[in-house]
Structure 1
């Protein structure tokens, strides 16, 4: 018997339904598995979450089941969930997602509130044996508390759970591996503060760590985003020393590998099925709805009005950068809405003062805010864009520096002391672009419907559509300003 045991871990993260890279990833996993197992070495294949993203028509139509089939066909063995699985799928859809999975889901910090146990489709950890080497595989996902709670889940902070798991398992295993959809910064904290973690296979931050990073005795890895890379960790276990002799990390560029033709054909067939499902007409539009990121548009005003109606608020607000494609007059399908608004973003409502609302609107009309590039928190567009509103009439000047001159709320002058209920988007509660919104009270998330699902309902309201063509913003000149 050899004195060492070699384990190869191939890991992916944050594919976000980039199906074009998946056939090459499948080839990468299969040829390396064949190569290494042919030498008597061991292979483990894992995914670290956000494999699914509902911006793609296949994931949207199947509620992620297409992704699970691809993971099956790629011979993934273990996975944890990301926020795209956890909080963009309604609870019943997440409970059904892994019915046909041929791999094990590990979620150590997601719980059913009624039973305080992990979901039936997952395990809190796994013990995996290769040869004589015993591995503890743990899994944690980022704890977006309010969103998970609104979806009917309980999500807990990972560190106390990890410490408890490691304390219980460390003496019974040789190596402890964490599948972490917590983000790079949190992974660094874990490596520094949690004893007993040998390897953290990371995700969520979309970082590419070419050779991983070592903090103390822990190796941290992450393989970028969208399937551009497959991560590889090679671990050599020394039987005589009963410890890790060597561990190293690298990234394989997915473009180097041939396409798995059978998987590619499956993905194409899923696209045809999804298009047949989602291109069914849901409404007739009498007028075109055009996008415009730097100006007020009827389409943007209609989004704000839809959010206002959905949340029961006095005011609706959303950024014009959310709208990525025009809606043409005539037959409208859900696929058209998905193409125009692919973001996993939901409505929410918050109560703020008139003074706070004024500050938000003043920030929103500054050129640097309108042109600000946005990333993360579900946003799939490019820039913030013009602030679309409903329930407001705003007079503003653009002379030297844009400023608000007058605000009316549903026909009445704004009262700076009064509380107003504002319907807006959950992204603003996470990305902190408008700090005044975070000072509000009675924050309510309206889940699980995403903006496109809200619009699929409201777009049938012809009166709302007609009203969206009435301007909410009125630009006035210096002369008019002085006269007023």
Structure 2
């Protein structure tokens, strides 16, 4: 006897709810179709469903994302880095309180070494014909960042191998929910041949018809809900083996619009805006901004980061700010609107020679208009560099009016995206401290609350001494 098993999967939605209505309607319709025919069907999410760049996710602390997953009836999810290292400890610890599905993450632990009570390392689902499907999940290892937030992540590969050894004795089919990325998934396929299907995410790769690597079927559905993954398995009960496995993608743009699609999209945004409606301060004058100029608002953010990090100097870019702040009441939503990035401040220790290297690189005239994707950045272009306590005069760099000394150590406040090596290799190598869970909008919020009511556009005045 042969049995057809159907799997549907999503990954890296990043709270792009503009595609969610169609995803929900499609998966629910397919579930009804399969259930009516008596066919087993399971639905999984592979992480980064929640992204705090959307006001609804921010305002609900991710709880609305969980509610949306509940509505579809997901069977299991794993977490991505956007769930794992952008929410404060307590928010992540309670993110899944109302979940009607299992959260499968084998390599996440508390600082004390125990698994959180909302996490399980593996899960076994059984079809009506008795086929046992073992499910294991792991998430990407950002050890230093998890540690800063009070969690501990272990080696994804080691945990995976250990759990697969156990599942091999318990299950007929093994599925892997992988928020590791395509290269790691290929490694897993080579090192863990007992895994039948790897549903992947993290690197936003698209596998239109899946890919057989070694003995495993790799499947992935890109990002932002542009695709829904579909996998068909044929299991032979006599031989206890999978006799066929295929993967395909459904383009959500090709699906019929939901009946209330535009209204739902607007409603999700407005609900988030309402949740973030608390007033932070009132501005007597607007704070103008342009990404290609060192505006007052950008200088204020740079100054705030230096103060927060207790640094000697600082550097950011104008492109981090997406808009101005008009005169009048400033709400939490306004700060989220202009700084939606899940980006943390960071203090980097550089020698004078390293600082000079970084500053010379930052003067690359092509960088301000460079379009940036990833690294936590949710804007468009990098923008011009804006410095605090740093000047360049007569081909010489100064920090707080003193010439930069080659062998002296300087603490530079900046943003975490500049420490990942893409822009400044010296910052990637350097000793650094990430300030978490605060985002840039949290830092600016504290700064702007202290502004004197009669500040001028030409100088930053605050109650800081």
TM range (shorter): over 0.9
TM-aligned CA deviation for residue 163 of structure 1: 1.0
Q: Name the counterpart of 2:42.
A: 44
SS in 2 for 1:61: helix
Residue 357 (structure 1) aligned to one of 355, 358, 367: 355
Structure 1: gaps (5+ residues)? 397-404, 472-484
Partner of 1:140: 138
Residues 329-478 of structure 1: matches in 2 within 5 Å?
A: 329-395=327-393, 405-441=395-431, 443-462=432-451, 469=458
Contact 2:292 2:368 in 1 (8 A): yes
Mapped contact 2:70–2:100 kept (Cα < 8 A) = yes
SS of alignment partner, residue 18 of structure 2: coil
SS at 2:380 equivalent: coil
Contiguous gaps of at least 5 residues in structure 2: 461-465
Output the CA distance in 2 between the equivalents of 1:390 and 1:150: 26
Shift of 1:259: 4.8
SS of 2:207's partner is: coil
TM-superposed deviation, 1:450: 0.5
Matches within 5 A, 1:51-62: 51-62=49-60
Report the more deviating stretch, 31-40 or 162-171.
31-40
Q: Which residue does 2:126 correspond to in 1?
A: 129
Contact 2:149 2:436 in 1 (8 A): yes
Equivalent residue, structure 2, for 1:197: 195
Aligned length: 459
Q: How does 1:96-245 map to 2 (within 5 A)?
A: 96-114=94-112, 116-130=113-127, 131-245=129-243
CA contact (8 A) 1:14 1:206 kept: yes
CA distance 1:365–1:466, change in 2 (3 Å): farther
* Aligned residue among 298, 313, 330 for 2:296: 298
Distance 1:430 1:197, change over 3 A: same
The separation in 1 between residues aligned to 2:343 and 2:359, in whole angstroms, is: 21
RMSD: 2.0
- Is 2:55–2:333's contact at 8 Å kept on the other side of the alignment? yes
Offset at residue 406 of structure 1 (A) = 2.2
Q: Secondary structure at the match of 1:146?
A: helix
Residue 402 of structure 1 corresponds to which residue in structure 2? none
Change (3 A) 1:260 1:123: farther
Q: Which residue, out of 2, 10, 13, partners 1:4? A: 2
CA shift at 1:191, angstroms? 1.1
State the 4+ residue runs in structure 1 displaced beyond 3 angstroms. Answer: 256-273, 463-471
Query: What CA distance in whole angstroms lies between the structure 1 residues aligned with 2:421 and 2:327?
Result: 34
* Conservation of the 8 A alpha-carbon contact between 1:305 and 1:464: no
Q: CA deviation at 1:227?
A: 0.8
What SS class does the counterpart of residue 378 from structure 1 fall into?
Answer: coil
Report SS of the residue matched to 1:233: strand
TM-score using structure 1 length: 0.90
Contact 2:351–2:410 under 8 Å retained in 1: yes
Query: 1 CA distance for matches of 2:18 and 2:2?
Result: 38
